[in-house]
């Protein structure tokens, strides 16, 4: 399924490059926003449970 969607992206890019580049840019920005939101939510949930964030040195030991 992923391979065919990648092929479709190349075909669409060849047919309507301007619109596809705009769509790629919008999806990239939405992906960054979604990742930041998910990470912030995960960080908040970990703090509610008393766990430290990875790399902080505490490793969840209180």
C-alpha span between 34 and 13 (Å, rounded): 24
Higher pLDDT, 19 or 2: 19
Establish if 17 belongs to a structural domain. yes
Establish if 59 belongs to a structural domain. no
Establish if 7 belongs to a structural domain. yes
C-alpha span between 53 and 41 (Å, rounded): 12
Q: Where are the alpha helices (H) located in 1-62, listed in sequence order?
A: 2-15, 17-49
Establish if 54 belongs to a structural domain. no
Distances (CA, A) of 9 to 23, 25, 44: 11, 13, 36
Reported as a single tens digit per residue, the pLDDT across 27-58 is 999 999 999 999 888 877 666 666 555 555 55
Establish if 62 belongs to a structural domain. no
State the pLDDT at residue 50. 60
* For residue 4, pLDDT beyond 80: no
Q: How many domains does the chain have?
A: 1
State the pLDDT at residue 56. 55
Give me the domain span that covers residue 17. 2-49
């Amino acid at each position: 399924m992923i391979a065919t969607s990648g092929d479709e992206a190349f075909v669409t890019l060849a047919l309507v490059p301007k619109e596809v580049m705009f769509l790629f840019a919008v999806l990239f920005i939405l992906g960054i926003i979604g990742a930041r939101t998910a990470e912030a939510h995960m960080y908040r949930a970990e703090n509610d449970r008393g766990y430290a964030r990875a790399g902080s040195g505490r490793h969840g030991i209180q």
